[in-house]
Structure 1
Amino acid sequence: MSDLIISLVGARPEFASWDWVHDIRNASGEAGQEDVSRVASAFSLALAGEPAPAAMTIFITQDPGFPLWAKVMDGLFPGRRHLTAATPAMALTLLETARTG
């Protein structure tokens, strides 16, 4: 998945400033620190080193430990918040709430 995201952001740099929602409930395999660091580098390159303007990534997962990993990602992607939601509906609510205040 990280290679696909890197490819997308490389082809369309504006994607790095968009909000992203990843449903990882049925994901197979693991993404490690190296994968996330590579994606973070691609985002930074796409944004020319500027922080993303209040962008966020929401992971749909029921893994109770994932919010800690999301917090780590906050430090790797300047300007981007990483949140978790248990369902797609909850992710949409998080996104709407964050956008409307």
Structure 2
Amino acid sequence: MVLQRTYHALHRQARRNLSDQDVHFVMQHGRWFRSAGVLHIFLGRRDIPNDRTIHKRFGRLEGTTLVVSEEGDSPVLVTAYRNRRGLKRIRSKDKYDRFE
């Protein structure tokens, strides 16, 4: 999947020391949630394979969340952040464009 990035996402990726390989790892192994009109990809502790070499390289990514917008032709990485306890907050976000 070709992922475009906003200027904000590039800035946040640099500030959080996330390489393109790290972003790819989170996309490949993380859990995907659709909420608040965007796609949240969350990498929890249990999502990281239990291999010593992989855990040594990517263990620091625990709690990383990628926010991806799927509007337009290709997906766009909007921002990236780390919060090890952020899964509950992602799940509780309001549904986008839902009227009751």
Relative to the length of structure 1, the TM-score reads 0.25
Larger radius of gyration: 2
Q: Which has the higher contact order (CA 8 A, sep 6+)?
A: 2
* Structure in which a larger fraction of residues adopt helix: 1
* Structure in which a larger fraction of residues adopt strand: 2
